[in-house]
Protein backbone atom coordinates (compact mmCIF):
# COMPACT_ATOMS: atom_id res chain seq x y z
CA UNK A 1 0.00 0.00 0.00
CA UNK A 2 1.55 3.29 -1.09
CA UNK A 3 1.19 6.70 0.50
CA UNK A 4 -1.68 7.81 -1.74
CA UNK A 5 -3.78 4.79 -0.73
CA UNK A 6 -3.07 5.39 2.95
CA UNK A 7 -4.12 9.02 2.62
CA UNK A 8 -7.36 7.99 0.86
CA UNK A 9 -8.13 5.60 3.73
CA UNK A 10 -7.53 8.31 6.32
CA UNK A 11 -9.32 11.11 4.43
CA UNK A 12 -11.93 9.59 2.10
CA UNK A 13 -13.60 12.92 1.25
CA UNK A 14 -10.39 14.70 0.25
CA UNK A 15 -9.87 15.51 -3.43
CA UNK A 16 -6.21 16.07 -4.36
CA UNK A 17 -5.54 19.35 -6.12
CA UNK A 18 -3.94 19.25 -9.56
CA UNK A 19 -0.18 19.65 -9.51
CA UNK A 20 1.03 23.08 -10.49
CA UNK A 21 3.88 23.21 -12.95
CA UNK A 22 6.72 25.46 -11.92
CA UNK A 23 8.79 26.83 -14.76
CA UNK A 24 12.47 27.35 -14.04
CA UNK A 25 14.08 30.26 -15.80
CA UNK A 26 17.78 29.89 -16.58
CA UNK A 27 19.87 32.53 -14.85
CA UNK A 28 21.59 34.87 -17.31
CA UNK A 29 25.09 35.99 -16.36
CA UNK A 30 25.99 39.64 -16.87
CA UNK A 31 28.50 39.90 -19.73
CA UNK A 32 30.68 42.97 -19.47
CA UNK A 33 32.61 44.91 -22.10
CA UNK A 34 35.93 45.11 -20.26
CA UNK A 35 38.08 41.97 -20.30
CA UNK A 36 38.45 39.78 -17.24
CA UNK A 37 42.04 39.25 -16.10
CA UNK A 38 43.21 35.64 -15.88
CA UNK A 39 46.57 35.43 -14.13
CA UNK A 40 48.91 32.83 -12.70
CA UNK A 41 50.40 33.02 -9.21
CA UNK A 42 52.24 30.75 -6.83
CA UNK A 43 50.85 30.74 -3.32
CA UNK A 44 52.74 28.79 -0.68
CA UNK A 45 54.59 26.97 -3.47
CA UNK A 46 51.40 25.85 -5.20
CA UNK A 47 50.21 27.01 -8.61
CA UNK A 48 46.95 28.98 -8.64
CA UNK A 49 44.93 30.69 -11.36
CA UNK A 50 43.21 33.92 -10.39
CA UNK A 51 40.36 35.53 -12.33
CA UNK A 52 39.59 39.17 -11.55
CA UNK A 53 37.68 42.07 -13.03
CA UNK A 54 34.09 40.82 -13.13
CA UNK A 55 31.58 43.64 -12.66
CA UNK A 56 28.38 41.63 -12.22
CA UNK A 57 26.59 40.79 -9.00
CA UNK A 58 28.12 38.62 -6.33
CA UNK A 59 25.55 35.90 -7.05
CA UNK A 60 26.63 35.81 -10.73
CA UNK A 61 30.26 35.59 -9.61
CA UNK A 62 29.46 32.58 -7.40
CA UNK A 63 27.57 30.86 -10.23
CA UNK A 64 30.50 31.45 -12.59
CA UNK A 65 32.93 30.08 -9.98
CA UNK A 66 30.88 26.92 -9.56
CA UNK A 67 30.64 26.34 -13.32
CA UNK A 68 34.40 26.69 -13.79
CA UNK A 69 35.17 24.39 -10.87
CA UNK A 70 32.80 21.68 -12.06
CA UNK A 71 33.91 21.81 -15.71
CA UNK A 72 37.58 21.53 -14.74
CA UNK A 73 37.00 19.18 -11.78
CA UNK A 74 39.29 21.21 -9.54
CA UNK A 75 39.07 23.00 -6.23
CA UNK A 76 38.80 26.70 -5.82
CA UNK A 77 37.05 29.55 -4.09
CA UNK A 78 35.41 32.93 -4.55
CA UNK A 79 37.06 35.54 -2.35
CA UNK A 80 37.56 39.34 -2.45
CA UNK A 81 35.94 39.78 -5.90
CA UNK A 82 38.22 37.19 -7.49
CA UNK A 83 37.99 33.50 -8.37
CA UNK A 84 40.92 31.41 -7.15
CA UNK A 85 41.35 28.04 -8.87
CA UNK A 86 43.88 25.43 -7.75
CA UNK A 87 46.41 24.73 -10.52
CA UNK A 88 47.45 26.44 -13.75
CA UNK A 89 44.33 26.28 -15.95
CA UNK A 90 44.53 29.68 -17.65
CA UNK A 91 44.05 28.39 -21.19
CA UNK A 92 41.08 26.16 -20.32
CA UNK A 93 39.44 28.86 -18.22
CA UNK A 94 39.88 31.43 -20.98
CA UNK A 95 38.16 29.12 -23.50
CA UNK A 96 35.27 28.48 -21.07
CA UNK A 97 34.82 32.22 -20.53
CA UNK A 98 35.02 32.98 -24.27
CA UNK A 99 32.30 30.39 -24.94
CA UNK A 100 30.09 32.28 -22.49
CA UNK A 101 30.78 35.59 -24.27
CA UNK A 102 33.33 37.11 -21.90
CA UNK A 103 36.50 38.84 -23.02
CA UNK A 104 39.62 37.63 -21.22
CA UNK A 105 43.17 38.86 -20.89
CA UNK A 106 46.09 36.59 -20.00
CA UNK A 107 48.53 38.03 -17.45
CA UNK A 108 51.75 36.52 -16.09
CA UNK A 109 54.16 33.75 -17.13
Q: Which fold has domain 29-107?
A: Translation Initiation Factor Eif1 (3.30.780)
**pTM greater than the 0.85 cutoff:** no
pLDDT digits (tens, 9 = 90+) for 54-84: 888 888 888 889 999 999 999 999 888 899 9
* pLDDT bracket for residue 46 (50, 70, 90): very high
Residue-range domain boundaries for the chain: 29-107
Provide the pLDDT for residue 23.
63
Q: Which residues contact 40 (CB under 8 A, 6 or more apart)?
A: 47, 48, 49, 50, 88, 90, 107, 108, 109
Amino acid sequence: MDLQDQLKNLFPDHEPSPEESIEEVAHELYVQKEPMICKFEKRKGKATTIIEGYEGTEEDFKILTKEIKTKLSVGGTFKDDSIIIQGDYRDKIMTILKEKGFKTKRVGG
